[in-house]
Structure 1
Amino acid sequence: MMREFEIERQFDIKIEKLKANKGVYYLKTDKGERCLKKINYGPQKLLFVYGAKEHLAKNGFTNLDKYYLNIDDEPYALVNEDLYTLSEWLDGKECDFHNIEEVKMAAKTLAELHEASKGYDPPENSKLKSDLGRWPHLMEKRIKSFDKMRDMVRKKNIKNDFDIAYIQSMDFYKEIGKKALDTLKSSAYYELCAIAEVDKSFCHHDYTYHNIILSPNKDVYVIDFDYCKREVRMFDISNFMIKVLKRVDWNFDFAAAILEEYNSVSKLSKDEYKVLFAYLQFPQRYWRLANRYYYNEVNWAQNTFAGKLNGIVEEQELFLKFLEKFKSEYNI
């Protein structure tokens, strides 16, 4: 009860109804429907996210979950050392990544978001979040970790299904990871980072179906900017593309449609296509799953991990075919 009272006091609202909903709370208040969310990072980082959303809205990108301020003009409530944000409750449905028309709308919206992100100066006491210039190092580190994880498996007396599948498939992904790193190293990656630095642009960094909301009248809203940071836009584009493509058997038509829609708003350069290709090549999903498994990052059941790994491995042929087509289609 104390917690609700504090939320009401700090945001100057009266809560009429509160309901947990997919990791957030739906609130019916005297001032309308709201979304209450517990934040697992500090106020300085939150100020960067708050400033980013305000900047987008100021630049005409208003279809997002803007924060409401508390009675002290801060974008959060502090309750028992926990931070909570309050935003408008957005009615709508999650973007269907199997539906090419909805995917195209999401691609166009991403380009609009990136354009509106330019010129962002974070608030004074915020913590600047940036991944600019980090990717060659990150890829190198992750390629090395494939061997480290294999050594962990070799030391195990009893190997389970996941271990065996990992040992059998690891070399393929390590090699493709090296190719991705070579692509990135031979690209204009650092020059593009310098341009992004000058542009003062940022990426959403978690642009996926549950953060893309289609309203009843087919407006596209983008929510959950928790991971947004300074980054080259090809990261967002590749991340979005992979999330779509893995659901549609690496269907090239979806990739072409995404890029066509994106380009209709904001044109990608030849240099950017090469960096985009490096990101698409890199076996990020495979690395992340193995990393989560061997370093106990999530508590999934044993068969969930093995099932996910086999699912990725089964895509190998389609994935390679897709990369070949992408390479020839965009002259990389």
Structure 2
Amino acid sequence: MSKDRRELSCFYLDDKLFDAFNLKVSEAVPVRSVFILETDKGVKILKRVKYDIEDLMFIYNSLNKIRENYAYVVNFRLTKDEKPYLIYNDEVYVVLDCINAREALFENPLDLKKVSINLARFHKAGENIESYERRNLKGKMIERLALRIKNLEKFKDIADMHVNKTRFDEIFLQNVDYYIEKIKEAVDFLERADYKNLKDCVFCHHDLAHHNVMIDEQDNVYFVDFDFCILDSRIHDLANIINKALKDNNFTVDTANIILDNYCKEYKLSKHEINILYGLLLFPKDFYDISRDYYFKTKLWDEEEYLDKLIRKAGYKEDIDKFLKDFKKIWL
């Protein structure tokens, strides 16, 4: 059973749930890990939330604040009790307005320009969000990278101990020392670049994959799915979207140029911030993530799927190195 099907099988769909949101539902269609609802109040999205109510209320209240200056974020439907969620059969559900828009295409430079400009507007609107310690990562990246070095060393010990090594173990061991050194390089660069004195802190999306950015017929850019949102420097989101977009554009530095040039039209970046951005881009996120998922078993994938992803992500090595050299030459 796939991850999405397993997720959907945990939903309790009945009229009591829908009635709590004051909805009459004529059809419920599974899409990815949610249900699209045809209702008397229009098309809605039913989602099961896996984090606690405190996190959910932080997201809800933050988006309400952002909407005052940037309207194009996902909207929660309230229950009859005026809550943005319902606890039903010990599960937490939310209902969201469905946006009539298409997913952004990061390989399309026009889309990438629109998204970058609007990400800057979104970040401006996300200033002065009330602090919430559990999701506040401001100033913590060096410590988090040090932990990732320790994790890779731990995974290396695990793989070394396996008598009958999997193909994943073998490829991981061939590459892990290189990537440990890359993270050390990132830590060293951030320390020398005075990372700790980075001042800004905004509401960051933290998962700017193309399917979480929607563009409607009027060219309004919507940001959706804030499950992983954090409070941190806007540089965090810029590193996130650059890393996502690079894979759709053969790792060319032009991709980063488009993002930064257009972002800066709305929200200027200082030399200090650009230096920090480069330090964050040094972190080999793809290799670390697939290694963590495999050795911590955080995903419900089979061995072949893990292996395919590792081979692909380890294969980015030369492309990423060239990108980083080009980026440094242009921006630093």
TM-score, with length taken from structure 2: 0.92
Structure 1 residues without counterparts, runs of 5 or longer: none
SS of corresponding position for 2:230 = coil
Distance in 2 between the 1:83 and 1:203 partners? Answer: 23
- Is 1:16 the counterpart of 2:26? The answer is yes
SS at 1:256's partner residue?
helix
Which residue of the partner structure matches residue 142 of structure 1? Answer: 148
The residue identity in structure 2 corresponding to 1:195 is: D
Q: Give CA deviations for 1:29-66 in whole Å, capped at 9, x if unaligned.
A: 1121111111111111110000111011112x111211
* TM-score computed with the length of structure 1 as normaliser: 0.92
**Which whole-Å deviations, capped at 9, do the CAs of 1:60-102 have from their partners, x for residues lacking one?**
x111211111122111122112111112111222111211211
Flag the 1:86–1:33 CA change in 2: closer, same or farther, 3 A. Answer: same
Question: Which letter maps to 2:166?
Answer: N
User: What's the secondary structure of 1:257's corresponding residue?
Assistant: helix
Mean Cα deviation higher: 216-225 or 269-278: 216-225
**Displacement of 1:7 after TM fit?**
2.3
**Which residue in 2 is equivalent to 1:107?**
116
Query: Which segments of 5 or more consecutive residues in structure 2 lack a partner in the other structure?
Result: 1-10
Distance verdict in 2 for CA 1:230–1:152, change over 3 Å: same
User: Who is 2:8 aligned against?
Assistant: none
Q: Is the 8 A contact 2:200 2:232 kept in 1?
A: no
Residue 62 of structure 1 is aligned with which of 61, 65, 71?
71
Runs of at least 4 residues of structure 1 off by over 3 A?
A: none
**1:36–1:2 Cα change, 3 Å:** closer
Length, aligned pairs only: 322
**Structure-to-structure mapping, 1:168-207, within 5 angstroms:** 168-192=174-198, 194-196=199-201, 201-207=202-208
| Pair 1:11–1:272, CA change in 2 (3 A) | same
Secondary structure, counterpart of 1:16 in structure 2: strand
Q: Is this contact kept in 2: 1:14–1:29, CA < 8 A?
A: yes
Q: Which residue of 1 aligns with 2:86?
A: 77
Matches within 5 A, 1:290-329: 290-329=291-330
Q: How far, CA to CA, are the matches of 1:9 and 1:241 in structure 2?
A: 42
Root-mean-square deviation (CA, aligned residues, Å) is 1.7
Deviation digits for residues 238-291 of structure 1, max 9, x if unmatched? 011001102222111111000001101100111111111111100111111111
- In 2, the alpha carbon distance for the partners of 1:35 and 1:3 equals 13
2-side partners of 1:98 and 1:278: how far apart?
24
Name the counterpart of 1:152: 158
Q: Give identity over the alignment, percent.
A: 29
Contact 2:149–2:180 (CA<8 Å) still a contact in 1? yes
Q: Secondary structure at the match of 1:131?
A: coil
Q: Once the 2 structures are TM-superposed, how far is the Cα of residue 319 of structure 1 from its aligned partner?
A: 0.9
Residues 309 and 145 of structure 1: CA distance in aligned 2, closer, same or farther (over 3 Å) = same
Query: Using the alignment, how far apart are the partners of 2:331 and 2:96 within structure 1?
Result: 41
